[in-house]
């Protein structure tokens, strides 16, 4: 069954994100969906032709992680946007953040600092499925550096395509806009 790109046009008009930026970002995401499907189809054909020992099969197996994770991380990212309300201080997520970081402000400072680091990638709040602890991670590439056994809770895209159209090189301004638009209800549902 092929993957289908989801419609995130409900985010158009979101404060701090131009229509041009969002539409370009949606197109990039749609490319990841299309390429995920193409890679899977090519792998299936090579498998049917008993070419599993070929260099093409090996390279496509490696490439699948890039395309699939690019697709899925963008879905998480777009889905955790579009909110206007702050995180409810009585929510389980707020309490867990305070428990694991000492305060919400400590977590926010660390998350923003992680996102402001030089380089391209993702800033992701993960929950360790073994002990439940929340951790902020920097992920360079879609297909590497994800902590094993951890569930993504909040995802912020910090590749230039996510902000340069609206903010140029002012990543900190983009991060502020991102925080104004977090859909905390979606984020909290990801907490186990």
Question: Which residues are CB-contacts of 22 (< 8 A; sequence separation ≥ 6)?
Answer: 8, 11, 12, 14
Residue 13 counted as domain residue? no
- In this predicted structure, the answer to whether residue 144 has a pLDDT above a threshold of 90 is no
Alpha-carbon Rg for the chain in angstroms = 18
Whether 141 and 172 share a structural domain: yes
The rounded distance, in Å, linking the Cα atoms of 94 and 11 is 24
Which ranges of the chain would DSSP assign to H, the alpha helix?
19-48, 55-79, 92-101, 104-116, 164-167, 171-180, 184-189
- Give yes or no: residues 117 and 56 share one domain: no
State the CATH number of the domain containing residue 117. Answer: 3.55.40.20
Residue 169 sits in the same domain as residue 127: yes
pTM above 0.85, yes or no: yes
**Do 65 and 101 have their domain in common?**
no
Residue written as token pair 């090579």? 46
Q: Residue 141's domain spans which residues?
A: 92-189
pLDDT reported for residue 158: 96
Which pLDDT belongs to residue 117? 96
pLDDT band, residue 146 (cuts 50/70/90): confident
Q: Is residue 149 part of a domain?
A: yes
70 shares its domain with 102: no
Residue 143 has pLDDT above 90, yes or no: no
pLDDT at 169: 94
In this prediction, residue 103 carries a pLDDT of 98
Q: Indicate the number of domains in the chain.
A: 2
Is the residue at 5 inside a domain? no
């Amino acid at each position: 069954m092929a993957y289908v790109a989801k419609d995130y046009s409900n985010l158009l008009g979101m404060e701090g994100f131009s229509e041009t930026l969002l539409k370009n970002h949606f197109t990039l995401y749609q490319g990841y969906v299309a390429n995920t499907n193409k890679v899977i189809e090519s792998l299936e054909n090579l498998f049917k032709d008993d070419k599993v020992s070929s260099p093409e099969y090996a390279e496509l197996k490696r490439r699948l992680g890039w395309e699939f994770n690019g697709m899925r991380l963008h879905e998480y990212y777009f889905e955790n946007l579009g909110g206007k309300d702050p995180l409810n201080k009585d929510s389980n997520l707020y309490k867990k953040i305070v428990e694991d970081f000492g305060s919400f402000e400590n977590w926010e400072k660390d998350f923003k600092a992680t996102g402001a680091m030089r380089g391209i990638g993702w800033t992701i709040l993960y929950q360790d499925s073994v002990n439940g602890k929340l951790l902020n991670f920097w992920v360079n590439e879609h297909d590497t550096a994800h902590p094993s056994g951890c569930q993504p809770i909040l995802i912020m895209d910090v590749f230039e395509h996510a902000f340069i159209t609206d903010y140029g090189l002012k990543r900190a301004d983009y991060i502020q806009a991102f925080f104004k638009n977090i859909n905390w209800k979606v984020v909290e549902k990801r907490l186990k």
